[in-house]
Chains A and B, each alone.
Chain A
Amino acid sequence: QKEVEQNSGPLSVPEGAIASLNCTYSDRGSQSFFWYRQYSGKSPELIMFIYSNGDKEDGRFTAQLNKASQYVSLLIRDSQPSDSATYLCAVIWDDTNAGKSTFGDGTTLTVKP
């Protein structure tokens, strides 16, 4: 079993809808969680990070963390065609693995006009 797993995708939503991207992880103690966006042919771009249980909002993006269920999700409200990209979930397990992000395989999102 992979340490970080994401929806196999691809995911397609109409413009203006809410896109929901999910990620589960293996529990290995303290973790930090990240969402990255990668456009085709480009490098990953950090969207947001979350450490504590609950929701964290940044503009149209909301990250949700549930440590008891070992999942972290990303909600994109009012999805736009420009949000079409691959979304990568990443985990840094603890301080001994600082700088080492473990990535999921990504979920490709298409937002249709």
Chain B
Amino acid sequence: KAGVTQTPRYLIKTRGQQVTLSCSPISGHRSVSWYQQTPGQGLQFLFEYFSETQRNKGNFPGRFSGRQFSNSRSEMNVSTLELGDSALYLCASGTSGGHLGQYFGPGTRLTVL
């Protein structure tokens, strides 16, 4: 099976802009989670989608949003970018409960200037 794919791999944006990141899960996986990874905060949960519905949301401002399509592909959007949004954004897919673990994509490295 193909792994989790994320596009783009690298992004450079300026403050105030918005950005959309894309994630395609492993075939058959309906759960897609998004995480932010920074050196100072580690891996922080953003949100999780299952069957096009957001099931869980982390403690991030409303500038961070997402959605999931009927084919389980997911997008994450960050509006009004701030310098502190510079991070590695990771998408992970799993089975319905995530109890068999999650499989991560390569990530999108976002730099905000």
A residues bordering B, Cβ < 8 Å?
A: 32, 34, 36, 42-46, 48-49, 51, 88, 92, 95, 97-106
Query: Which residues in chain B, 18-51, are within 8 Å of chain A measured between CB atoms?
Result: 31-33, 35, 42-43, 45, 48, 50
Q: Quick check: B101 and A98 within 8 Å, CB to CB?
A: no
What would 16 A/B residue contacts be, using CB atoms closer than 8 Å? A32-B99, A88-B43, A92-B98, A97-B56, A98-B50, A98-B55, A98-B56, A98-B98, A98-B99, A99-B50, A99-B56, A99-B94, A100-B98, A103-B42, A105-B42, A106-B42
Closest CB in chain A relative to B67 CB, distance in Å: 15
Residues of A within 8 A of B102 (CB): 34, 46, 99, 101
Q: Is the CB of B107 within 8 A of A43?
A: yes
- Contact indicator B55/A99 (Cβ below 8 Å): yes
> Do the beta carbons of B90 and A98 come within 8 Å of each other?
no
Query: How far is B31's CA from A44's CA once the two chains are assembled, in angstroms?
Result: 17
User: Are A49 and B58 within 8 A (Cβ)?
Assistant: no
| Contact indicator A46/B103 (Cβ below 8 Å) | yes
Chain B interface size, as a band, is 20 to 34
Interface residues in B38-97 (C-beta closer than 8 Å to A): 42-43, 45, 48, 50, 55-56, 58, 88, 90, 92, 94, 96-97
Which of the listed residues A34, A43, A102 has the most CB atoms from chain B within 10 Å of its own CB?
Answer: A43
- Residues of chain A with a CB closer than 8 A to B92's CB: 101
> B90 near A44 (CB under 8 angstroms)?
yes
Measured CA separation A103–B56 after assembly (Å): 16
- List residues of chain A with CB within 8 A of the CB of B56: 97-100
Residue of A34, A95, A101, A105 near B45 (CB, 8 A) is A101
